[in-house]
Amino acid sequence: MKSRIRPFLLMVAHYLSGPVLISIAYFIFGFFWILFSDRILLELSPSSQDYIKYQTYKGWLYIVITTILVYALSKVYAIHKDKSLSLSREKERIISENLREKETLLKEVHHRVKNNLQIMISLIRLKRKHLSDAHDSEILKEITDKMHAIALVHEMLYQEDLLSEVNMKGYIIKMIKHLEVSLESRNRVKIHPDLMDVILPLEIAVPYGILINEIITNILKYAFPDELEGDITLELKKEDDGKAVLYIKDNGIEFEPSVSMDKEHAFGMRLIHVLADQLNASLHIDSEKPGTSYTLVLNLNNDSTSQRLNV
């Protein structure tokens, strides 16, 4: 409460300081005028007629002097106020310039991070071309896809006006296009996105993006093997209670946890659960015929998620 009252009192004092000073000066002048003017008149005018005449002169003189005094004080106050406004505008200009400079630097940081990740991706792709082992080449391709998911976050940050937040709708659409090309699935598996605008801070957007990347990658690799054709439904909704609900459903081979998986598939599913736990989100995987559905519920109003990711 005190923190609110103090700025209000300072603002009132700032706007009343000029009128109050003028009133005080006017009062002091009037006080001394009344106190000494009559004594001076008694000394100058021994007769009553002269006293009356000088009283008239005193009144006119008082009007002239007070008019000049009020005008002078008002002028001084106006000059002081103009200087204060000029200083305020200069401070606002400096703050605005500093803010624009920091925004530019932050965009440059995101741009450099994205470029550095892109360089690493390119180097790994060059290495893949010299590998004879198809299994090792596939591992490196999955690594580059994960790195691309991170680079895409920074790319959107420096391209958009939001410097520390990501609109996941545009992010997911770009990710889908990349994965369709990377995994060569565009002609046989159709992804149908139905997305709402969900804004996530940087520290949540990165693991959230990697998680979506991992789910779609797993579906394309294991739900549609051997050139199997099918469809993937991808929905992102923001509910009224502040929760972001991600729903991904395929009509391929259903996932059965009881069936033993190879190491790569097991690692992918473990990574999905780890990322969901890191986001403090609830994850439900349901085997349906045909296909499998993934439902991830993230509470956007939960501060513990950001605190957990910043540890």
Interval 222-257: pLDDT, tens: 888 877 889 999 999 998 888 999 999 999 887 765
pLDDT at 236: 95
Mean pLDDT of the chain: 78
pLDDT at 260: 46
Q: Give 10-residue mean pLDDT values along the chain (311 residues).
A: 55 56 68 68 63 68 75 74 78 81 77 85 86 83 86 80 82 88 79 92 90 90 84 92 92 68 70 92 87 91 57 46
Condensed to tens digits (0 to 9), the pLDDT of residues 260-308 reads 455 566 778 888 999 999 999 999 998 877 889 999 999 988 665 555 4
End-to-end CA distance of the chain: 33
- pTM for this one? 0.64
